[in-house]
Amino acid sequence: MRDFRQIVRTLHNRRWRAIPLTVLVGAFALVGIVAIASVAVMTRSASTTTALSATSAKERIAAESDDAKQTPAEGTTKQDPPAPKETTAQRADADPEKADRPSSEGVEQKTGRDEESATTTKAEARKAEATKAAQPEKEAEPNKETEQSKEAGPEDETAEQEEAREAAEERAARERSNPEWVLPIESYVLTGRFGQSGNRWASYHHGLDFAADSGTPIRAVGRGEIIAAGWEGAYGNRILVRHPDGTVTLYAHMSGFERTSGTVEPGTVIGYVGATGNVTGPHLHLEVRPNGGGLNSAIDPFAWLADKGLDP
């Protein structure tokens, strides 16, 4: 302060001597006050600006943080922070007795695993023992079967023969139920044989005679076609049937016809026993002519029927 007064006096004495000292002092004081006030205002304005800038920055940072929390990044999910694991020391602080012994759940789980392992081991041991015990039995089974087959050899042969006989009977039964060839009359007595000679025939007998009552049905011996039916001299009423292999069978001395044309099957009734033509009594005269030949080509009907599996 003393220096300030000294400066003022010096300036007053040298330059502003005409100006009263009090006025000069007042002017300098006013200038100083204004300068101090300006400095104070500028300082305050700078502080306010700095504070506002800091506040805006904090608000912007807070807003960005809120937005990040509300909209998490794609492909991520908000997860709660993992709960802190309780350490052994903390358990010891909470309950010293619990820290010294293992968890009861762990003991139970370990015990269960041990029991399960023991059970599995026992089951495998039993299975191995059963397999080992079954091996001798399996090895003994083939030997037993061999011994049984040796002992039952004759019985098996007899059984096979029985089965073969039954199969043959079944085939015969099927053939009888649906035969390809049949006898011309079901109930008869054979009287005249093929090749006989005598005063009853012009040369020798060319057929086989089935004596039966008049009116007994006469059947076609096999499948074929009636090629002739009617009267023919010593044959009386007769029918000729041609079979698929060309053989012709002749049925003579009929009392009447059931069929005179068309195809026939084995067992088809074609006429009835009679005594027409050169006869001594009612009967069927059957001739067999291979390849459709005439009288002199006739063969023995008995042998021909037997060759077809029949028993005249």
Please report, for residues 42, 48, 68, 183, 299, the alpha-carbon distance to residue 54 in angstroms, rounded to integers and kept in the order given: 18, 10, 21, 135, 143
In whole angstroms, what is the distance from residue 109 CA to residue 13 CA? 110
Query: Which pTM was predicted?
Result: 0.45
Q: Give SS3 for 303.
A: helix
What residue segments make up the domains of the chain, in order of their start? 2-62, 97-153, 189-307
Q: Which residue has the tokens 């012709």?
A: 248
Q: Which CATH number fits domain 189-307: 2.70.70.10, 3.40.47.10, 1.10.10.10, 3.40.1400.10?
A: 2.70.70.10
Do the strands 237-242 and 224-231 form a parallel or antiparallel pair, or are they unpaired? antiparallel
**Each residue of 119-169: pLDDT tens digit?**
667 777 777 777 766 665 555 555 555 555 555 555 666 888 888 888 878
- Of residues 288, 205, 283, the one with CA closest to residue 241: 288
Comparing CA positions, the residue from 186, 190, 174, 260 lying closest to residue 219 is: 186
Residue with tokens 């399960």, as numbered in its chain: 116
Model confidence pLDDT, tens digit, residues 214-250: 999 999 999 999 999 999 999 999 999 999 999 999 9
- The first and second tokens of residue 278, run together, are 């050169």
CA-based nearest residue to 234, from 262, 214, 205? 205
Cα angle, residue 15 at apex, residues 10 and 20 outer, rounded to 5°: 80
Over the stretch 274-293, which tens digit does the pLDDT of each residue have?
999 989 999 999 999 999 88
Q: Quick check: 46 and 59 in contact, CB under 8 A?
A: no
